[in-house]
């Protein structure tokens, strides 16, 4: 498929704050990414956040751990769309694997930029959260949910790191969860959507869009790879978090060849 978005999708991104591009990655590419994901979820270390039963929930800094996931950050289809929407060169601020285990943790309502701005010192919301589906995402296996248009609100002030969050000692440690009172106001104003699509779909989301996800009560696998990219002139200035959570490398991404994933099959 073409790397360039048509104007309809660009306009949708501007108004809603996110778009879903189906079929951006083919089955062979998804399989390479699944194999890479399996490899990093078997690793251990502080970057691996686990459920209470020990299963991996979030693995941060995935592109620092595996050459296939490093190649993903430089895939020309992702780079082209991000640069088209942001109109500048980009770097990776954070990457992660999110595995929705059956009966695992929820992810409370938040904005990614809420943490990047408050904790990492990223000055502006000039960035995109890129979500790559490794499984079919349905409305019943804990899909990503988002408040369309909420990016125009700016940084929501009614948010804090909540000690009572279910995943407080794991993924929620630096997340600024938005209060239910504010969520009620936002949903009344903008509505709420499930973001669905087959494996290989990719979501491009403004980092100020309010989003979250509920518990996966099905036995169905739901793994999403996330790349949060910022423009190269929008760098973090505080380094309270380790590199697997907040970038130290602000060099612009240079795209690889179109077969950069399939060429690593079996690695």
Q: So where are the chain's domains?
A: 7-247
pLDDT at 254: 97
Confidence band for 105, pLDDT divided at 50, 70 and 90: confident
Tokens of 113: 């930029």
Question: Of 41, 20, 42, whose CA–CA distance to 198 is shortest?
Answer: 20
The backbone torsions φ and ψ at residue 26, rounded to the nearest 5 degrees and listed phi first, read: -85, 175
pLDDT at 172: 56
Residue 230 zone, left/alpha/beta (φ > 0; ψ -120 to 50; rest)? beta
Angle (CA) 144 235 173, round 5°? 45
Reported as type and span, the H/E element at residue 98 is strand 90-99
Tokens of 155: 């940084």
Q: What is the pLDDT of residues 135-193, one digit of tens each?
A: 999 999 999 999 999 999 999 987 676 555 454 454 556 778 899 999 999 999 999 99
- At 181 the three-state DSSP class reads helix
Q: Is the per-residue pLDDT at 96 higher than 60?
A: yes
Query: How far apart are the C-alpha atoms of 214 and 179, rounded to whole Å?
Result: 16
pLDDT at 162: 57
- Which is it for strands 177-178 and 48-50: parallel, antiparallel or unpaired? unpaired
Q: What is the CATH number of domain 7-247?
A: 2.60.120.620
Question: Of 74, 78, 71, 44, whose CA–CA distance to 59 is shortest?
Answer: 44
Q: What is the pLDDT of residues 25-80, one digit of tens each?
A: 999 999 999 999 999 999 999 999 888 888 998 999 999 999 999 999 999 999 99
CA atoms within 13 Å, Cβ hemisphere of 173:
12
Strands of the sheet containing 18-21, edge to edge, are: 18-21, 202-206, 127-133, 223-231, 90-99, 56-60, 48-50
pLDDT at 4: 79
Please give the DSSP secondary-structure letter assigned to residue 197. B
The backbone torsions φ and ψ at residue 174, rounded to the nearest 5 degrees and listed phi first, read: -115, 5
Query: How far apart are the C-alpha atoms of 205 and 131, rounded to whole Å?
Result: 8
State the residue for tokens 């630096």: 174
Q: Is the per-residue pLDDT at 106 higher than 50?
A: yes
pLDDT at 164: 55
């Amino acid at each position: 498929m073409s790397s360039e978005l048509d104007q309809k999708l660009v306009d949708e991104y501007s108004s809603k704050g996110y778009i879903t591009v189906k079929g951006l990655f083919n089955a062979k590419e998804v399989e390479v990414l699944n194999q890479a994901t399996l490899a990093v979820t078997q690793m251990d270390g502080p970057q691996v956040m686990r459920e209470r039963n020990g299963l991996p929930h979030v693995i941060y800094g995935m592109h620092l751990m595996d050459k296939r996931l490093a190649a993903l950050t430089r895939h020309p289809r992702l780079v082209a769309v991000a640069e088209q929407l942001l109109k500048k060169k980009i770097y990776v601020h954070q990457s992660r694997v999110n595995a929705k285990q059956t009966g695992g943790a929820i992810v409370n309502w938040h904005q990614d930029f809420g943490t990047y701005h408050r904790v990492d010192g990223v000055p502006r919301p000039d960035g995109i959260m890129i979500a790559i589906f490794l499984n079919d995402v349905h409305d019943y296996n804990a899909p990503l949910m988002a408040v369309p248009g909420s990016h125009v609100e700016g940084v929501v002030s009614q948010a804090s790191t909540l000690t009572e969050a279910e995943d407080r000692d794991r993924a929620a440690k630096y997340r600024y969860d938005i209060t239910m009172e504010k969520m009620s106001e936002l949903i009344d104003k903008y509505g709420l959507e499930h973001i669905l699509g087959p494996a290989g779909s990719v979501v491009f989301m403004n980092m100020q869009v309010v989003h979250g996800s509920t518990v996966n009560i099905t036995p169905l696998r739901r793994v999403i790879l996330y790349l949060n990219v910022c423009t190269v002139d929008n760098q973090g200035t505080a380094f309270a978090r380790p590199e697997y959570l907040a970038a130290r490398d602000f060099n612009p991404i240079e795209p690889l060849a179109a077969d950069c994933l399939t060429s690593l099959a079996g690695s």
